[in-house]
């Protein structure tokens, strides 16, 4: 019984940690791209950051600043963090998830 439990836990751990958070993002990246173009491009066109140049949306920068996950991006977009405004109230929760999925999808390309 103990061996079966260990095997199940091992399989669960492998599945959980084998997929990056970007693959598990529940949002619609296509819709997120449209929302990003309408709401985020002014400061983040092409994955850049016109206010804080080092904090781009490129994968390396997102990882460096602890933002390479859907949860972290959703938190940032929802609540903002100066100088970035909060989008709670402007965008619905599902729209913010879509933006997060788009950012994670694009992070390697920017």
For the entire predicted model, the pTM comes to: 0.77
pLDDT in tens, 4-46: 757 665 555 555 555 454 444 589 999 999 999 999 999 999 9
d(CA 95, CA 44): 17
**Domain assignment of residue 41, yes or no:** yes
CA contacts within 13 A on the Cβ side of 96: 19
d(CA 41, CA 19): 28
**Domain assignment of residue 16, yes or no:** no
- Number of structural domains the chain divides into: 1
pLDDT in tens, 81-95: 999 999 999 999 999
Domain range spanning residue 72? 22-106
pLDDT in tens, 47-88: 999 999 999 999 999 999 999 999 999 999 999 999 999 999
CATH number at residue 79: 1.10.760.10
């Amino acid at each position: 019984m103990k061996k079966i439990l260990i095997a199940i836990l091992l399989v669960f751990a492998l599945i959980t940690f084998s997929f990056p958070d970007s693959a598990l993002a529940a949002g619609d990246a296509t819709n997120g791209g449209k929302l990003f173009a309408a709401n985020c491009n002014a400061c983040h066109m092409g994955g850049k950051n016109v206010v804080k140049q080092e904090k781009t949306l490129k994968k390396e920068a997102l990882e460096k600043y602890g933002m390479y996950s859907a949860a972290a991006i959703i938190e940032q977009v929802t609540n903002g963090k100066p100088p970035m405004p909060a989008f709670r109230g402007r965008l619905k929760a599902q729209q913010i998830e879509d933006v997060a999925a788009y950012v994670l999808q694009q992070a390697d390309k920017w």
